[in-house]
């Protein structure tokens, strides 16, 4: 069983989400299906899809105009929240320590954080991929985790670019993440791969050791693209 998570980013409407929910109703699969959607689409009945948000405030409540707290997300019935997505790190200057605070806020409110780590092209070219991944995991995961979390490895240079690392590169990254999590007492934590996943490469990617599922951007927006990913693996 794998975790197939979609990240709609700033796309979609409540209508297109309802259409996705209907389209997935008849899909036979034992995989866990998650869609992380804009806040405005939370609260609808996701059917067999578990819903999640794409970001969360590190604050609990108060004078933080425009922010949405973990308790508010949980109040919609959502179960998941992405934290530290590369676009948040890039456009909103989120650091590992901010990501850790956000993940802690999610956990404190019963949400499962999907904590993203991954290297930029500059870091890759400088030979820093493994160091960035390991420090991302060590510094972005809260200390006192005693419930479910999910890690997503998203090579930042490959997102939305139609590029994917080689199988060996994905295997090396996921092996390092699994080993790091085990050293942190979090062995068995699912690790997803994300960046340019589509129906034609999903099964191959999910056959790589330590890849427990995928986090899909563009190809999660339409049932015709998303369903083949969900059904590509048992
Ligand atoms: P793409 O699948 O569009 O490359 O996006 C990946 C991603 O950022 C998922 O969070």
Say whether pLDDT at 104 is over 90: yes
Question: Where residue 30 falls among pLDDT bands split at 50, 70, 90?
Answer: very high
Active-site annotation holds for 85: yes
The whole-angstrom separation of Cα 153 and Cα 115 is: 9
22 near 15, Cβ under 8 Å? no
Three-state secondary structure call for residue 82: strand
Say whether pLDDT at 23 is over 90: yes
Nearest Cα residue to atom 9 of ligand 1: 217
Active-site annotation holds for 154: yes
Residues making up the chain, counted from first to last: 234
48-85 pLDDT per residue, tens: 999 999 999 999 999 999 999 999 999 999 999 999 99
CA of 197, closest atom in ligand 1: 2
Nearest partner of 71 among 57, 89, 91, 85, judged by Cα: 57
Q: Given ligand 1 and candidates 5, 7, 113, 119, which is best to mutate, with the most ligand atoms within 8 Å of its CB? A: 7
Q: Which residues line ligand 1 at a C-beta cut-off of 6 Å?
A: 7, 85, 154, 159-160, 194-197, 215-219
Question: Where residue 43 falls among pLDDT bands split at 50, 70, 90?
Answer: very high
Q: Given ligand 1 and candidates 216, 221, 226, which is best to mutate, with the most ligand atoms within 8 Å of its CB? A: 216
Rounded mean pLDDT, 78-106:
98
Say whether pLDDT at 160 is over 90: no
Right CATH number for 3-230 from 3.20.20.70, 3.30.479.10, 3.30.1330.200, 3.30.2130.10? Answer: 3.20.20.70
């Amino acid at each position: 069983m794998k975790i197939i998570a979609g990240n709609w980013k700033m796309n979609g409407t409540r209508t297109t989400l309802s259409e996705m929910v209907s389209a997935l109703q008849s899909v036979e699969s034992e995989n866990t299906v998650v869609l992380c959607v804009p806040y405005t689409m939370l609260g609808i009945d996701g059917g067999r899809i578990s819903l999640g948000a794409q970001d969360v405030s590190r604050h609990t409540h108060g004078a933080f105009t425009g922010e949405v707290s973990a308790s508010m997300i949980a109040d919609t019935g959502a179960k998941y929240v992405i934290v530290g997505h590369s676009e948040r790190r890039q456009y909103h200057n989120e650091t590992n320590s901010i990501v850790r605070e956000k993940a802690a806020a999610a956990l404190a409110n019963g949400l499962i954080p999907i904590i993203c780590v991954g290297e930029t092209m500059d870091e890759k070219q400088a030979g820093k991929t493994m160091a960035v991944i390991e420090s991302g995991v060590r510094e972005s995961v809260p200390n006192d985790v005693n419930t479910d979390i999910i890690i997503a490895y998203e090579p930042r240079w490959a997102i939305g670019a139609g590029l994917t690392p080689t199988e060996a590169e994905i295997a090396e990254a996921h092996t390092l993440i699994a080993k790091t999590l085990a050293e942190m007492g979090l062995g068995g934590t699912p690790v997803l791969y994300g960046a340019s996943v589509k129906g034609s490469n999903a099964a191959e990617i999910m056959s790589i050791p330590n890849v427990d599922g995928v986090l899909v951007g563009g190809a999660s927006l339409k049932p015709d693209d998303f369903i083949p990913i969900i059904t590509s693996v048992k």
